[in-house]
Structure 1
Amino acid sequence: MQYIRRHWQGECSLAWGFWVNLVVINLVASVILHLPLTFGWIENPVFQSRWTLIYQMVWSGLVFPWQIVGLIRAAYRVWADEHQRIAPILVFGVVLIVLAGFGRTMKLEMPVYQELWSFSFQPDPMADYRITVLRDKPLIHVTGFFGFGMTRELEAVVEGLDDPTAIEGIILDSGGGRLYEGRALADVIEQYEWDTYSAAGCLSACPLAYVAGANRTLIRGSLLGFHQYINPTTQVPLPVDAADYRVDKEYYLDKGIPYSVVKRMFEAEPGQLWVPTLSELKESTLVHDFVEIDSVLPNDYRERLYQPVREAANSQLFFATGAWLNANLHRNHVHDLWKQRVLNGSNFDVAHAVKQYLDDWAMQAAGGVGDYDLARLMEALAETIDRLLVNNPQKCLQVLSPERFGKLDYRTVTTEAQWKTLSDLFSRMVVKSYGPVETLDPATYNRLAYRLSERFGDDLRYLNATEGDDFNSTERCRVFSRFLRELLAMPNGQGAAFYRTMRANNSAS
């Protein structure tokens, strides 16, 4: 304490204050900061961040002010009492440079420190996981992203079982997560000598744990995926020579994975994914066996897994209709939605994915629906477009090109009666999507198409536009509404038949 007080009051010699209390102490402090990180004494990234953050707070808030204030006071004492000029001036210059550098560094690194604070002391936003012990099989199922604390929670679950040794394997379904947790989970799997499985997919950090399995099984339809790593605090890609790559490459090689495969694991950029083929998985011994889902996940357990996704999907109009139209196809869609939800996290938009299925159904349905229903649908669409042209022209483009301008929620732009009509028509279309398609003969279709082209003239460019100003213009809506009404005016239901044939041709192409 006496030494600290003497420097603070400027009583130490100027040379000692500069060379020892500034230069040497900074070097020693830098070693103290980096030594535990370099030699792996602190492996947990959260503790690493806390160590770095606490060090910077202590150094910036206590040590650095103590160094600078003491040095300035010592230089002033030498200037005033000993009447020396050169040494104090040099010290004052160095202090100004150090202060300027310190200020610039703090300004540049403040976002990093803010991220370190969030990383160290706030809940992990990636901790989107669930741990389930299966009732009918000696297996544990882990779904979702590996967040900090997951492995510790898993160990607590296992130790809380009546017989922890009864667990024979673990099912890993994850889109990735924290590398530290992937490695820690691998240690637990090796400790208990578990087999590993995957039903939905195992990506990024997840394969680190999957490869630790004594026997590695992939359920058909699942996948393994690999890519480069990112820094968890700065969210920038790690350099190719980063220690994480060296450690994990050695790990995979020790597991018997060929070097050529290990090399490919880290070639895909963070936003991309390398997914080995079935033959590559088998030949590289990444996977030992492939099985059907029924042999691993009991049907009643799968139903519980699917329930949240099924409820979200069935809330979308017409999706539930598929359950009685084609039960197998509907079940496959639900399973696919569950897989996407697991691999993409809780932010996965089930509704958007469901609409893609409905678009496929509707494209087929336009060819199969009867003339009367199709004419009613065309009339309802024309009325909707006309109304949008008056009230909200930009939204009418969502009717024509939802893939470019976004899906239109028709309930927000129609009356209750109009919405009921549209709902009924779309339901009929979904039903008809499983039936035969009746189209016009080519000669009749071409004759009607030629007649329409004469009527529309230069306006045809709006109907045929796929990009550019014509595509983005609300004039497309006006022309398309006129097009529908021209079809409706054709005698003997030819307009509906023409529209059905046109949609069927588009679907085929």
Structure 2
Amino acid sequence: MPFPRPNSVVIFTISFWLLTPIAHADFQAGADAYKRGDYLTALQEWRPLANQLDADAQFLLGKLYAEGKGVPQNEKEAVRWWRISATQRHVHAQYSLGHAYAIGQGVPLDIVQAHMWLSLATAQGQQEALEERDEIATTMTATQIAEAQRLAQEWDPKTSKIFDYTLELKKNNTLIYLQGGLEFGVSDEVSQLLVNYSDVTGIILDSQGGRIHEGRKLADLISSYRLNTYSLLGCYSACATAFIAGKNRFLGPQANLAFHQYSDGPGLNSPQSDVRMKKEEEQDRKFYQQQGVSAEFLEKLFNTPFNDLWYPPVKELLMAGVVHGLVNPSDLFPYEYEDLRTSDFFNELLNIPIYQTIKKYDPSTFKEISDSAIEQIQNGASPIELREVFTNYIKAISNKLLPYTSNEALINFAKNMVSTLKNFVNKDPILCMKLLLRKQYGEVPSESYSKKDLENINEVMTRVIIDAYEKDNPQVDTNKATIVMRKVRLKIEDEYKALKTEELQNSADYKRFCNVRIKFYELILSEGDDAGGNALRYAFSPK
């Protein structure tokens, strides 16, 4: 049976390492600068972290905009950052957002939204939020309070963007970039942009979904104006209906399309609404067919329950005619880096332990990495594309050194792999699929890794490199390794054969797939350090 090659997984684990060093920043340095009144430095330290979805940095960046410190005061921008942070359950951001709605600061006054966000902060123990919420409640009707309570109870960070969206023009006003939920009114704003800017040829759709009606209206606009459609971060549910309307359709390296059954929302289904939703699904199924999507794909389109998502592999999307090609963000518009200096980049790279080690033991490769990354930056490559540069080099180093490093380093590598996979399965199984099958499911978003994750991976891979160069490590004992691999095969073969990626259609399927991969490593590790290390060395060796 063709086992998953571990060295095909190596690079997926470390593709997040960098995030371009240009985006490297120090949270504590920003906090220290803020305390001494150096708000511009605080802004410079926190903004890159906020862009990487650090919830603390996002909250504090919003605070700088609200107070006009280091930047011109901008209440709308403050609310924007608080909202992004709040969707990551940042309690102070939730309180600040609730307060903003309560007084109409940066957003229209909305006591229902205020009550909802203050309730979410209260649930995390924020006393000021409790007091303000109860005070607001004295001015609300029973119906308003019930609605706010319902919103708070049903709030889910995965779908919270439905409350907000942004639209901006890119590439000399030839591309519209939509981010956020498909809320009522978004299609009207897109329509106005198309009227005002006649050179628009495409629209980027990065959305968790939203109103079916808005998805359809966007699809009509996209069809009428014969726009190309793109997604760089993902386009789910109702967003996919808009995406499929594109004349030509493209996905970025981190993006997925995702589908599920339609619903009026949690707790709102009834026999009557179920019938109506089936009619909605059938209407969209016919539209997909008109757009050239294969009959086989259409049969699976709405099989996944409304509270789950099906992420078809990229290969399946291409073969089914859902997507016509892949695209890098810089192909659409160049990414701009402020005040780039080669010496700064080189020094930032050396601040990262794994690259210090590469420079020491393989200086020519280190120079190649640095030169290639700088060239990419100068050409406007996005952070996602820069990670690809680092990924390819680390993959080559890993494939070269893993068979020759110490048993201890191999065991630690496998243990870290198991820990990372389990963490992703618990967070969201699709992250695990991205880690294991990057070409089929896209890149793992960098924000999915904690600071501790980064430290552990750096430590593990640094040890792999050092031990490969410094220690006299054993050769593979092929006979002993074959015995171990045969035992592993017998224990997981049936499970592995039953899991074909084109047949995976929901979170439970993704979880089972990942658990088989986890079991593969755990069974090898259970053989002990010597036998397990030898089996891993065999598995990582070129065949």
TM-score, structure 2 length as denominator? 0.39
| Greater C-alpha radius of gyration | 1
Structure number with higher relative contact order (C-alpha < 8 Å, ≥ 6 residues apart): 2
TM-score (norm 1): 0.41
